[in-house]
Structure 1
Amino acid sequence: METNALQQIAHLRREYTRGGLRRNDLPADPLALFEHWLRQACDAQLPDPTAMSVATVDAQGQPYQRIVLLKHYDAQGMIFYTNLGSRKAQQLQHNPRISLLFPWHMLERQVMVTGEVEQLSVLEVMKYFHSRPRDSQIGAWVSKQSSRISARGVLESKFLELKQKFQQGEIPLPSFWGGYRVKFNSMEFWQGGEHRLHDRFFYQREGDGWKIDRLAP
């Protein structure tokens, strides 16, 4: 069984035929192209089009990745929220450099972003926190993210306990819950192409503008 699976993996391949990406089609600002591609991913009804792989590095240089949802973006950066005691938050405190990857496989596209994070203000976090569904707000209180637990029942019992506690009124913002703004300094767009001749364009911040290079696939 394992041998057959390995053989299947070795021979899995397909052609990328959805179209190319040309230099003349690129806007001067990468955020404009990102917004266009994100809108197309939403229109195509891809599952979780705002899901991105977030890569951080620990004090020993070991990289870690996990999927997080993009919650806002503008010229100042890309925003996500998390428990400030989580592994990713601890790693970002040590090293604010970060990489994001949007894997829009069904459109034969991916976007990679690099930059540094800054922690959001309490006001920014509170505004978003209270826009979340009530059960999600309670869920933020339940989990001490990345800590070891003995069983799922521990989480479920705590959730029910806090749901009863917060039955009335507004749920307060946990002091350990916050968010980050990724101030991006590069953005790479990858569009699959036939015969593995993929199109890759790399935007690198240069002064007040952006330098654009085509990269070999």
Structure 2
Amino acid sequence: MNETESAIPVTDPFTLFEAWFAEAKEAEPNDPNAMALATATPEGRPSVRMVLLKGHGSHWGEGGGFVFYTNAESRKGEEIRANMQASLLFHWKSLRRQIRIEGPLAEVSSEQADAYFHSRPRVSQIGSAASDQSRPLPNRQVYLDRVAALEERYPEGDIPRPQHWTGFLLTPTAIEFWSDREFRLHDRRRFTREGPGEAWSNTLLYP
């Protein structure tokens, strides 16, 4: 690679994400789909945590996007429903790459939430249904007892999806790709658009 040229091509950012994500799945030892999700209260108080990407691409919604699932009564779920904006960060240390994604959120349909919930291992379904995520827990045994009660109530088959367990689609208005270069002369390209279906523009950024 010529040092005077960017290593990040000018292309459709969903296509570039797909290429980088495919490489990450080969290179990362654990959870290449792990991403930091940043949300904020209406007052602007931020919080961030790791979640797993469970769907992505230009076919999602009207303008393509990135999907994750959560308990909507958790701290992040309450912040999302109060302020339907978020940002994502993928950091693939083995590849020395990052991708930042920003945009509005929309809740997925009940059918989509059901389909994903019931695609999970049965023990994961039970664990989610038994959890009051982010709420105080007196001791771990209380949670384990709730898990055991659900296992007894539903001895086989799928567990009904709790109504507060759902998914969200982030439709990006900005996607920024970052790649490590020698001597911290890193490579950054930011793609932006006004809204779903609009054309992308892009620019290099100083590292």
Q: TM-score, normalized by length of structure 1?
A: 0.87
Within a 5 Å distance, the mapping from 1:9-158 to structure 2 comes to 22-23=5-6, 26-75=9-58, 76-158=64-146
SS for the counterpart of 2:67 is strand
Query: 1:22/1:51 Cα in 2 relative to 1: closer, same or farther (>3 Å)?
Result: farther
* Inter-partner Cα distance in structure 1 for 2:69 and 2:34: 13
Query: 1:46/1:19 Cα in 2 relative to 1: closer, same or farther (>3 Å)?
Result: farther
Once the two structures are superposed, what CA deviation does each residue of 1:158-193 show, in whole Å capped at 9, x if it has no partner?
A: 111111111034321111110000011100000011
Once the two structures are superposed, what CA deviation does each residue of 1:79-100 show, in whole Å capped at 9, x if it has no partner?
A: 0000010111111111111000
Query: 1:61/1:166 Cα in 2 relative to 1: closer, same or farther (>3 Å)?
Result: same
Letter in 2 for 1:152: R
The aligned residue for residue 176 of structure 1 is 164
The aligned residue for residue 3 of structure 1 is none
The aligned residue for residue 61 of structure 2 is none
The aligned residue for residue 192 of structure 1 is 180
* Inter-partner Cα distance in structure 1 for 2:94 and 2:7: 24
- Structure 2: runs of 5+ lacking an equivalent: 59-63
Q: What's the RMSD between the two structures over aligned residues? A: 1.9
Kindly indicate which of the two structures has a greater share of residues assigned to helix: 1
Pick the aligned partner of 1:214 from 201, 204, 207: 204
Q: TM-score, normalized by length of structure 2?
A: 0.91
Pick the aligned partner of 2:148 from 152, 160, 166: 160
The alignment covers a number of residue pairs equal to: 200
- Structure 1: runs of 5+ lacking an equivalent: 1-17
